[in-house]
A and B are shown apart, each in its own frame.
Chain A
């Protein structure tokens, strides 16, 4: 128990003294996971919307694939991305293994199915008649999609939070494709793993608390936006 209190104390000290290494790692974690989430939003939402609004043969199969993707283990994603990015692998010419870019790539792969799955579900739960009504009022297909997205924005924000939460908290892929290199690809989760194996449990706990703190701040902003818009 002492060690947890010590961890909380450490977290507090690291934050109020603006410990440059910890702040650097924290900012870097937010940047990597934020960028990855953004990429996953672009891909996940557009594909999720298309699948939700169209009918085609094998659609049920595609939806089940997307939903399975939500359970993709980060470490498996990390393994595949690593193998592809190896110098002598198919994408080796990019020379991005053990760089922040590789981490963003891997995290985007993890977040995309999550965003896609939730987008799909939230677009699908809109009443079918709404679509007919919008079209009947003379909207083009594109206008209809825009209105539907607006209608589904509450669950879509949940997709953002779930995607971001999924990648800011993952460690398996980040440590494999980033390498936990000091001052370069070290993020809060990989630093926590390292400090744990070094036996610095108090610092590991402190890093965990800092991670939760910033995740909370971001979700607070998103939740505020989401709940303010609650339909009456």
Chain B
């Protein structure tokens, strides 16, 4: 009798879990596209909006892997992703020069902003040059929270530090979180201090924070997204046809129109500006 109950309990566990056979059945490999992208495109909700349209249109299934731009490009360089949607131009150029990508096409941009507490102890509000603001952080030893995760945002931040001629790593007023944009913003809000953020994520999270935009509009603060197909000559397993279809979709007029208005209803302004066909150098002019 007791054993019966024990078996019954095991069966119950079995019934609870059911077989995974149906879900686990893999779709034909060429139907899957692995897209490595940045957390900012996922956290803004843009991809959730665009991907169903693409999938319905083409029949592909996109597996979005949202990581930092650095990791996304490492995945591409190892042939572990088919297509990249990233925002780290210097690293992208190196990626292309190394023969890892087929084509690098401009999709959209928004911008980075320096945010901080309204009382602004480092007195950077309204500065025209991001690098000047960064110099003030060092000068006044005001705490700055960095992503520190090799993401596109982190790469941009390092670029600004270089422009300011300061090496912040190891300084008392400089903390690296190793976290995503949302969490890093949250940390800056808690500590009532400064960080560099992309405008999209900031707008999406604004309601929960007491952080203001203090510096914006400097040319160096542009945040540019490109789509790159991974080179199938280097990695034969890459789904190039799918990657190409996705790249074409991102720069198509229909998609660009969606990008133009995405977020207006919710945040009062668009999160991204469509740029297909433009020259990278012409942006922000």
Contact = CB atoms under 8 A, between A and B. Distances in A.
Interface of A: 28, 30-32, 34-35, 37-38, 41, 86-88, 92, 95-101, 104, 150, 153, 157, 160, 179-182, 184, 194, 196-199, 201, 218, 221-222, 225, 228-229
A35 B15 CA distance: 10
A150 B3 contact: yes
Nearest to A38: B17
Contacts of A194: 42-43
Contacts of A179: 63-65
A96 B63 CA distance: 12
Given A35-B20, A88-B237, A104-B20, A201 B208 contact: yes
A196 B185 CA distance: 12
A70 to B, nearest CB: 20
Nearest to B206: A199
Contacts of A181: 63-64
Given A86-B80, A229-B5, A101 B63 contact: no
Contacts of A34: 13, 16-18
A197 B43 contact: yes
The 8 closest A-B pairs by CB, nearest first: A34-B17, A197-B182, A199-B205, A225-B9, A101-B24, A87-B237, A98-B63, A179-B65
Given A31-B17, A88-B78, A153-B6, 17 more contacts: A34-B13, A35-B19, A87-B237, A88-B80, A95-B29, A100-B23, A101-B20, A160-B13, A179-B65, A194-B43, A196-B182, A197-B183, A198-B45, A198-B205, A225-B5, A225-B12, A228-B5
A228 B63 CA distance: 46
Contact of B66 (A31, A100, A180): A180
A28 B18 CA distance: 11
A100 B21 CA distance: 10
Contact of B26 (A96, A199, A218): A96
A129 B82 CA distance: 62
A157 B13 CA distance: 11
Contact of B182 (A32, A182, A198, A218): A198
B16 A199 contact: no
A87 B79 contact: yes
Q: What class of interface size applies to chain B in its complex with A?
A: 35 or more
Interface of B is mostly: helix
Contacts of A92: 237
A150 B6 contact: yes
Interface string B179-221: 0111100100000000000000000110110000000000000
A184 B24 contact: no
Contacts, number: 105
A153 B2 CA distance: 10
A38 B13 contact: yes
Contacts of A160: 13
Nearest to B47: A182
B14 interface: yes
Nearest to B208: A199
A87 B234 CA distance: 13
B153 interface: no
A150 B9 CA distance: 13
Given A150-B2, A229-B2, A31 B20 contact: yes
A95 B66 CA distance: 19
A34 B23 CA distance: 14
A34 B16 CA distance: 7
B48 interface: yes
Contacts of A225: 5-6, 8-9, 12
Nearest to B80: A86
Contacts of A197: 39, 43, 180-183
7 contacts: A31-B23, A35-B20, A98-B63, A100-B23, A150-B3, A197-B180, A225-B8
B273 interface: no
Contacts of B6: 150, 153, 225, 229
Contacts of B207: 199
B235 interface: yes
B239 to A, nearest CB: 10
Nearest to A3: B208
Nearest to A224: B9
Nearest to B66: A180
A86 B3 CA distance: 44
A197 B79 CA distance: 28
B86 interface: no
B34 interface: yes
